[in-house]
Amino acid sequence: MKILFVTSEFGSNGGGLSLSSERVFNYLSERYSVQIVNPKNPQVLVADGGYNQELASAIRHENDLKIDAYQYKDKDIDYVIAFGGGFNGYYASILSQRINSSFILCLRGTDVNLAKWSPIETFYLKESAIHSHKVVCLSREMIENLRLIDKSLCIKCVLIPNSIVGGGDVTFMEKQNSTIVIGTASTHLNEKKGVANLLSLVKLAKEGGIDINLELVGEIDADLYESYVKIINNFEISDHITFHGRISRPELSLLMRDWDLYVQASVCEGHPNSVIESLENGISFISTRTGYIFEKLHCDFPEYFFDDNTPASMLKGVLALLNDKKLALRSEQLRDNLLKSSDSNTIKKLWYKLLESPSKEMYCAFDGDNILSVGLHDVQGEVYDSITTPIDVFRQFVDFIYNHGMGLCSMRYYLSMPPKERQSWIVCTFDDGYAGLYSHALPILSKYGFSATVFVCTSLIGYDNKWNNKDSKMRMHLNMDELSALNNQGWEIASHGVHHYNFLKLTDIELEYEIQQSKEQIDSLFGPSDCFAYPYGANNAYIQQCVSSYYRYAFAVNQGGTSLSADTYQLRRYSISEIYKILTVES
């Protein structure tokens, strides 16, 4: 396997991104042929200046792209991996398209957690994620932030944390000094690490007669350093603050051993490498409630995480943790717990599984023209019948689809995607529009950002199911408020006729009324819909011709085929059990 590893930060002397990129590169190099591309290393000299200040930058990027694309176009590259989002991820996504390779976007934290506050970063993130085969995240928080950009992108996400490479046999030391020494570190130290908040913590401690010294490690921009000095002077805590500047990792390891706690004060993180380094050096930590480490450990080790990000809460957390007589033992237990999911061998296996998964080609039978769809009615209760899918059965099915690297969506969303991207999606449909969809199906699908198409009979909206003498269970159909709520959550509301009549038994006038009237009402209430579902699945060539005057596609039940072009007005739908069999065989 041949891989292009696109990153602008690499090496153990850099920050967390540089360190983790080097580690992953080394893991992949043990098994595959891997080459590095740096999108921020200009390959052609371009002069700055002129009326358009962005022109030089654009020309540099275009030159680099053409050079890289020419160099790798005929090299049979299997994957382009962007290690880091932002411009790095955007450049890598374009390069992967130019050389016709699969693309994996590897997000690291800020590139997704804070992207929503910047239009340009949002653009970079969304464009690169849309074109990706998979998106590797470090935490569920990152996946949730990606969901805010585009709900459909969550289906592509895979969680692979950073690795711990040492420290398994390091002993944690008990606090011995009367003065508490805490520290935080980053290659480029700034407000991402919550420095001003830590200064406020020290001020609060001083006011309470508590002696706390704060050591800050990392390069700080000159204007930001001046801001910190001003805050320190205003707080009158200069005797309690030490700036160490940027130092090497071995130097940081030595310095950390004099600290009582490493304090992670970031408002958001992916998987902070400095916390891992503190554990590798036998130093306990305390952190804000963010990132993989919080998600993994907070239930079993709640004392290691602040209740909130206010200085008072942080000071309370620091003092409580340091007063714990079992701190050293607890920290060793915490480290061992984290090692189980983050040791080097585990992380290697996760990467190898991702790259060697057959999912890239798994669903070629259901390509851009061939559609895979599931047909259901109601979701409620615990017992199957001809209409009911039990809640737990539906939940397990949705979880299975997500864990299988696929998604469930409405027909409208499916048709909006490029044909190549449709291979990982199953169209989810519900006939008749029962109220259980709002109560039960919606929250289950929303967990992963999935959607569905619900086919409703317009005369039955908000009424019960007395029309169906074959259904022994009393059910309510969705009312207008519930349908509007589903529509607002990305569901498609489509037509199932007016009265749920068998079309094979209708006159031409009745047939035209059922098709046209329901179409007009649905479109006026919920926006245009291009698909229809035959009540009872009943259709023939003449009925299909009538439907074609108003709709682009129509669904049957278990008749017809899966080709959008050949089976346009008789698209087959499968049951949950049939979908399981199809995906198991394809796997």
Q: Are residues 451 and 542 in the same domain?
A: yes
Average pLDDT, the chain: 90
Band of pLDDT at residue 133, cut at 50, 70 and 90: confident
> How buried is residue 466: exposed, middle or buried, by Cβ count under 10 Å (0-12/13-18/19+)?
exposed
Whether 387 maps to a domain, the answer reads yes
% of the chain surpassing 90 pLDDT: 63
Whether 366 maps to a domain, the answer reads no
- pTM, entire model: 0.66
Could you tell me whether strands 33-37 and 2-6 are parallel, antiparallel, or unpaired per DSSP bridges? parallel
CB neighbour list of residue 43: distance below 8 Å, 6 or more residues apart: 63, 64, 67
Assess whether pLDDT exceeds 60 at residue 474.
yes
Whether 355 maps to a domain, the answer reads no
Least confident of 29-38, 74-83, 520-529, 578-587: 578-587
pLDDT for 56 equals 85
State pLDDT tens for residues 233-272.
999 999 999 999 999 888 998 999 899 999 999 998 888 7
pLDDT for 587 equals 40
CB neighbour list of residue 400: distance below 8 Å, 6 or more residues apart: 580, 583
CATH code where residue 34 lies: 3.40.50.2000
Least confident of 73-82, 241-250, 415-424: 415-424
Rounded average pLDDT over 560-576: 92
Q: Are residues 182 and 61 in the same domain?
A: no
pLDDT for 416 equals 87
> How buried is residue 202: exposed, middle or buried, by Cβ count under 10 Å (0-12/13-18/19+)?
buried
The rounded distance, in Å, linking the Cα atoms of 176 and 11 is 35
Q: Are residues 561 and 524 in the same domain?
A: yes
Q: Are residues 313 and 394 in the same domain?
A: no
**How many degrees, rounded to 5, is the angle at CA 435 between CA 430 and CA 440?**
80
Q: Which helix (H) or strand (E) covers residue 442, if one does?
A: helix 442-446
Backbone angles phi, psi at 495, to 5 degrees: -95, 140
Among all chains, which residue has been given the structure tokens 């990129």?
21
Rounded average pLDDT over 105-111: 91
The rounded distance, in Å, linking the Cα atoms of 159 and 437 is 29
Q: Are residues 141 and 184 in the same domain?
A: no
Q: Are residues 184 and 152 in the same domain?
A: no
Assess whether pLDDT exceeds 60 at residue 152.
yes
pLDDT for 585 equals 52
Q: Are residues 408 and 549 in the same domain?
A: yes
Question: Number of H helices and number of E strands within the chain?
Answer: 23, 20
Assess whether pLDDT exceeds 70 at residue 359.
no
Q: Are residues 397 and 519 in the same domain?
A: yes
Q: Are residues 208 and 112 in the same domain?
A: no
The rounded distance, in Å, linking the Cα atoms of 134 and 105 is 6
Q: Which two tokens stand for residue 494?
A: 């489509």
Q: Are residues 453 and 574 in the same domain?
A: yes
CB neighbour list of residue 118: distance below 8 Å, 6 or more residues apart: none
Rounded average pLDDT over 506-510: 95
Q: Are residues 236 and 314 in the same domain?
A: yes
Which of 148-157, 218-227, 366-375 reaches the highest mean pLDDT?
A: 218-227
Backbone angles phi, psi at 297, to 5 degrees: -115, -15
CB neighbour list of residue 394: distance below 8 Å, 6 or more residues apart: 376, 379, 440, 441, 444, 576
CB neighbour list of residue 464: distance below 8 Å, 6 or more residues apart: 474, 475, 476, 477
Among all chains, which residue has been given the structure tokens 């950009």?
149
DSSP reduced 3-state for 183: strand
Assess whether pLDDT exceeds 90 at residue 384.
no
pLDDT for 168 equals 63
Rounded average pLDDT over 397-408: 88
Q: Which two tokens stand for residue 374?
A: 């599931």
Whether 556 maps to a domain, the answer reads yes
Band of pLDDT at residue 360, cut at 50, 70 and 90: very low
Name the DSSP class of 435: T
Backbone angles phi, psi at 221, to 5 degrees: -60, 145
Least confident of 230-234, 353-357, 505-509: 353-357
288 vs 342, more confident: 288
Q: Which two tokens stand for residue 168?
A: 């398994």
User: Domain range spanning residue 525?
Assistant: 371-581
Assess whether pLDDT exceeds 60 at residue 442.
yes
The rounded distance, in Å, linking the Cα atoms of 331 and 173 is 10
Among all chains, which residue has been given the structure tokens 């997704």?
112
State pLDDT tens for residues 165-195.
766 677 887 766 679 999 999 988 999 899 9
The closest alpha carbon to 27, from 138, 168, 160, 167, belongs to 160
Whether 361 maps to a domain, the answer reads no
Whether 165 maps to a domain, the answer reads no
Band of pLDDT at residue 559, cut at 50, 70 and 90: confident
Q: Are residues 211 and 249 in the same domain?
A: yes
Band of pLDDT at residue 558, cut at 50, 70 and 90: confident
The closest alpha carbon to 17, from 82, 98, 71, 72, belongs to 82
The rounded distance, in Å, linking the Cα atoms of 446 and 440 is 10
Least confident of 162-171, 176-185, 306-315, 497-506: 162-171
State pLDDT tens for residues 10-35.
877 777 788 889 999 999 999 999 99
Assess whether pLDDT exceeds 60 at residue 367.
no
The residues that bridge with 430 in the sheet, in sequence order, are: 376, 454
CATH code where residue 545 lies: 3.20.20.370
Whether 171 maps to a domain, the answer reads no
pLDDT for 505 equals 95
Q: Which of these three, 303, 326, 341, is where a domain ends?
A: 341
The closest alpha carbon to 368, from 407, 422, 416, 410, belongs to 422
The residues that bridge with 396 in the sheet, in sequence order, are: none
Domain count along the chain: 3
Q: Which two tokens stand for residue 235?
A: 């707080």
Band of pLDDT at residue 436, cut at 50, 70 and 90: very high
The rounded distance, in Å, linking the Cα atoms of 484 and 501 is 25
231 vs 343, more confident: 231
Whether 348 maps to a domain, the answer reads no
Least confident of 344-348, 472-476, 520-524: 472-476
The residues that bridge with 134 in the sheet, in sequence order, are: 104
